[in-house]
Chain A
Amino acid sequence: MAEVTRTPVDISQGSRTRGGIGESTPRPDGTLKVTGEFAYASDLWHEDMLWGHTLRSPHAHAEIRSIDVSEALAQAGVYAVLTHEDLPAETKHYGLEIPDTPVLAQGRVRHHGEPVALVAADHPETARRAAAKIRVDYVELPVVTDEATALAPDAPLLHPDREDGHADHVPHPNVLHRQPIVRGDAAAARERADVIVSGEYELGMQDQAFLGPESGLAVPAEDGGVDLYIATQWLHSDLRQIAPVLGLPPSMVRMTLSGVGGAFGGREDVSMQIHACLLALRTGKPVKMVYNRFESFFGHVHRHPAKLWYEHGATRDGRLTHVKCRIVLDGGAYASASPAVVGNAASLSIGPYAVDDVDIEALALYTNNPPCGAMRGFGAVQACFAYEAQMDKVAVELGLDPVEFRQRNAMSQGAVMPTGQVVDSPAPVAELLRRVKAMPLPPERQWETAGGAADVRALPGGLSNTTHGEGVVRGVGYAVGIKNVGFSEGFDDYSTARVRLEAIAGEPVAIVHTAMAEVGQGGVTVHAQIARTELGVTQVTIHPADTQVGSAGSTSASRQTYVTGGAIKHACEAVRARVLELGRARFGSYHPAWATAELLLEGGKVVTDGGEVLADLVDVLEGESVDIELEWRHRPTQPFDRVTGQGDGHVQYSFAAHRAVVEVDTELGLVKVVELACAQDVGKALNPLSVVGQIQGGTAQGLGLAVMEEIVVDPRTARVRNPSFTDYLIPTILDTPTIPVDVLELADAHAPYGLRGVGEAPTLSSTPAVVSAIRAATGLALNRVPVRPEHLTGT
């Protein structure tokens, strides 16, 4: 066990323990991060260290005739050049759900930027220049880029030999996964509809664009194994994929989490992990790999671009009769998390509305586009953009206020999902809409100065604007969304926590050890808060995350506070029970309350529920430590039926609503989002400051998808056109408006402390709210995001 350092929180003298759940305690890593001392993965250094570099395919689809590395290998300072021929084990592929991704291309590349060869050299520039000297003989093949080319009779098959769990259930081998959901009788219900509204929608490919590039340091060990220091979302999932490719038992691949600069789903798949280990094992030297931004765009999967077709029916009095929809997601060249994304898109496709009769189909395709997988919102984002556009359209058709129409159809506790699952915890959809609507609106013509002139900085386009507000119109739009929390469809979604309580320098200290990846979300903060609350101590040390403790599952799906937080809570409860046993044995004979009263741990003491102090924890422990490790599971879920889509597939649902206020310069086609208000139910805010920060961050990413973010893939060549921050735009502080947040706390009786996963829901409704507001301002249909100037000016 490493040495223990004190947490920043003062020791409170009262019986209440400060810094527990419900308080906005500061991040334990905050001081390190503001002083530049926090060790991110790209900061690591080792004596005698080499730099790894990846050679990537310039083509999206090509046969590889030959690879000649001799010239590269001959460069001074180059220690190794590896191709698929150098892979040491039988296993040469990896993947989250389906092992279809080659570690290094063998015979064929399937997407632009696919890794082909690796170089290790003594300077990053040497490695880059050597990689440029590798000769690869490619023969280009026709590219599969969309549904039409993927399902054409003579379409090249991306994975002709696929042997996965889904192959039997898809209509064509280029369909990666398909999930229908049929419930009630949509055709019959359609007859009851007074209005029927249909629409087609499209979303571009969004990137997670976390700021900390993919990085890690692999250090060969004396036992023939390797130590990997890495920025990831799930250490044990990486380990499961890395070890077989290296031909090593998992025990010889030891992984430690290094500082992670954001993730948002983009680190759920393996990127450079295996490559760095291969180079380290080959050269016998530590190897560091750090992607630059260009490479980062090729190094991780993206959000699935999607095409969606929807039909909604409603009666004159504003009740939905049925929903039919078809959702086509572009999975790109490899499977990644696509099957689960499809399950989410299908099961959440009608949104937080109560509709009994539905006919749903969602599928993902294999194409030669960049692979897509997990990104914040995971399949629910695409659906939400479409169903919320539809809700506005139906409301217009019925002449109803869009919020009022949504509220009439809003689901509530007890509603039945299209999958048949009963929503058995609060679902305050109508209330969230009421709350965002009730927030005061920002002033009209906010760009107008007191003197009546325009402050151009506040106009659409900012300083680069060339008008003075003549063509500026305002619009307001609303949206609400539903997201599942945790891994679904029967996945064994557990977490492991080890909690130790001991006395150090005369004070009780809790040490919490999990493999949870802190990616910036603040898990380390709430974990300490949970331990303080449960064990009544002030000092909590969060042990670094590594593979020396059992899996914590992924830092994704808004699940970590629920699942790893739940594991810590239960481990603390077990520690507490053991401590009280020790206390009873030591002091039980001195005071009857030990046997009769309800006992608590508070302020470093054992107290009765009446507040009487029985003993100091330090005296109870008397030099011993109590140390418990356990796995914790939420209630189980079920897979969706492959034909009907029925099954209690989700753990928990979370809900958020947005109101967007935008101003559009209709002449220039420029949009300024003036305000983006959010109301979200979080069940219980364990750390209110962090909760609001998560909601604001998620909201900003949704804004990005609405008006600027897209990886542009050339439809003829499937090459990525804009892999840089010059051309892939994420919102700056000038693009992002104030984001007032109203947090609702309706406890979920099934969750630890009643909490609800927070991170993803705000990303869903943000996008459609902004687009709805632009529609309200311009009267344009706008069926595609990101909305671009030419969509607004009609040029």
Chain B
Amino acid sequence: MRVNLTVNGRPQTADDVWEGESLLYVLRERLGLPGSKNACEQGECGSCTVRLDGVPVCACLVAAGQAEGREVVTVEGLADFARRRAEGGCAGGSRDPGDCSGAAADAACASETPSGAASGGATAAGVGLDQARAWRPKPADPAELAPIQKAFIDAGAVQCGFCTPGLLVAADELLERNAEPSDADIREALSGNLCRCTGYEKILDAVRLAAARAERAV
């Protein structure tokens, strides 16, 4: 089957999708967006968390067909999403139905969205071998990162980083809803995201840091 959806503000089409394929598989293997991770593919770990029309979901539990015509934000589009939210404009996957939903808004998003972090395009998939052969450090340019991404780096909340994309999407959504979350709020919001490396303490630190910075910036 064919699936049409908007990912990080760009209209995308995936062809020859099998009935049983998940949104996660389509994102990772058909649309060249491997940022959402595949740690359990059973909805238990949160590594694949993306926003579907603004709502955080496990992409591994969403059948590809269910995403037809809807808007998805992945970690690859998080910085752009946060930037446009901060600017008060269309953020591509907002919860607020009056803010950015429907076909007209999609078109507006698409026209002003840069190509994003990953290659996009419905034919590319995964990560090429040149990248596999040579990872390279990249400058942490605050202007290119969402505040929550910057906070994760600064707080030391990234170790192996496999849980990180899902946690970032979930934490960003929490801060969007609740600018001053208590520790209990943070724990509740992130309880669906497993991390095996950090012991979570620095993840809490990162969310607190992002919240504190936002408060200072106001």
Contacts and interface: CB of A to CB of B under 8 A. Distances in A.
Contacts of A455: 184
Interface in A692-726: 692-693, 696-701, 724-726
A43 interface: yes
Interface in A1-56: 2, 5-8, 24, 26-40, 42-46
Interface string A199-211: 0000000001111
A461 interface: no
Nearest to B139: A8
Nearest to A230: B132
B152 A36 contact: no
Contact of B199 (A34, A45, A736): A736
A212 B160 contact: yes
Most buried by B among A8, A24, A37, A217: A37
Interface string B184-214: 1011101111111111111110000000000
Contact of B154 (A26, A260, A698): A26
A259 B159 CA distance: 12
Given A8-B139, A44-B127, A217 B132 contact: yes
Given A697-B198, A725-B45, A32 B135 contact: yes
Contact of A736 (B28, B118, B128, B200): B200
A39 B135 contact: yes
A647 interface: no
B35 interface: yes
3 closest A-B pairs by beta carbon, nearest first, are: A36-B35, A45-B126, A520-B160
17 contacts: A30-B158, A30-B161, A32-B137, A34-B161, A37-B118, A38-B135, A38-B161, A44-B127, A125-B20, A211-B47, A219-B129, A260-B160, A293-B41, A293-B42, A544-B134, A733-B195, A738-B201
A34 B127 contact: no
B107 interface: no
A422 B192 CA distance: 48
A45 B125 contact: yes
A520 B187 CA distance: 23
B161 A726 contact: no
B161 A33 contact: yes
Contact of B188 (A45, A457, A736): A457
Given A33-B164, A724-B44, A262 B132 contact: no
Nearest to A51: B29
A404 B158 CA distance: 38
B79 to A, nearest CB: 7
B214 to A, nearest CB: 17
A734 B39 contact: no
Nearest to B160: A520
Given A29-B137, A217-B129, A730-B196, 17 more contacts: A27-B153, A30-B158, A31-B141, A36-B34, A37-B35, A39-B131, A43-B127, A45-B34, A46-B128, A211-B195, A212-B160, A292-B38, A520-B161, A692-B156, A697-B197, A700-B198, A730-B194
Q: Chain A interface residue count: which class? A: 35 or more
A389 B199 CA distance: 24
Contacts of A519: 160
B163 A211 contact: yes
Contacts of B53: none
A264 B160 CA distance: 11
A693 B198 contact: yes
A380 B168 CA distance: 35
Contact of B159 (A40, A520, A699): A520
Contacts of B203: 733
Contacts of B188: 457, 734
Interface in A245-268: 256, 258-264
B117 interface: yes
Interface string A685-697: 0000110110011
Contact of B161 (A28, A261, A697): A261
Contacts of A127: none
Interface string B58-94: 0000000000000000111011000000000000000
Contacts of B129: 44, 46, 217, 219, 229
B145 interface: yes
A724 B159 contact: no
Given A43-B126, A732-B194, A212 B35 contact: no
Contacts of B156: 24, 689-690, 692-693
B39 A213 contact: yes
A2 B135 CA distance: 10
Contacts of B132: 39, 44, 217, 229, 256, 258
B177 interface: no
B34 to A, nearest CB: 4
Contacts of A698: 199
A123 B36 CA distance: 20
B40 to A, nearest CB: 4
Nearest to A219: B129
Contacts of B21: 125
A542 interface: yes
A481 B43 CA distance: 36
A31 B133 contact: no
Contact of B37 (A40, A736, A739): A40
Contacts of A495: none
B33 A211 contact: no
A547 interface: no
B39 A212 contact: yes
Contacts of B127: 39, 43-45
Contact of A293 (B18, B39, B152, B197): B39
Contact of A696 (B160, B163, B202): B202
Given A5-B136, A544-B133, A733-B193, A36 B75 contact: yes
Interface of A: 2, 5-8, 24, 26-40, 42-46, 123, 125, 208-213, 217, 219, 229, 256, 258-264, 290, 292-293, 455, 457-458, 519-522, 541-542, 544, 546, 689-690, 692-693, 696-701, 724-726, 730, 732-734, 736, 738-739
Contacts of A125: 18, 20-21
A539 B75 CA distance: 28
B158 A27 contact: yes
A210 B45 CA distance: 11
A33 B28 contact: no
A37 B117 contact: yes
Given A212-B39, A734-B187, A693 B33 contact: no
Nearest to A520: B160
Nearest to B28: A43
A383 B133 CA distance: 41
Interface string B150-187: 10111010111111110010000000000000001011
Nearest to A261: B162
Contacts of B192: 732
Contacts of A701: 196
Nearest to B138: A31
A455 B188 CA distance: 13
A31 B151 CA distance: 11
Contacts of A31: 137-141, 145, 153
A739 B45 contact: no
Nearest to A725: B44
Contact of A123 (B18, B40, B76, B137): B18
Contacts of B101: none
A613 to B, nearest CB: 28
Given A32-B138, A211-B45, A519-B160, A26 B117 contact: no
B199 A696 contact: yes
A697 B198 CA distance: 4
Given A35-B79, A724-B42, A212 B201 contact: no
B37 A211 contact: yes
Given A261-B161, A696-B199, A734-B191, A36 B139 contact: no
Contacts of B39: 211-213, 261, 293, 725
A698 B194 CA distance: 15
B204 to A, nearest CB: 7
Interface string B6-29: 000000000000101100000011
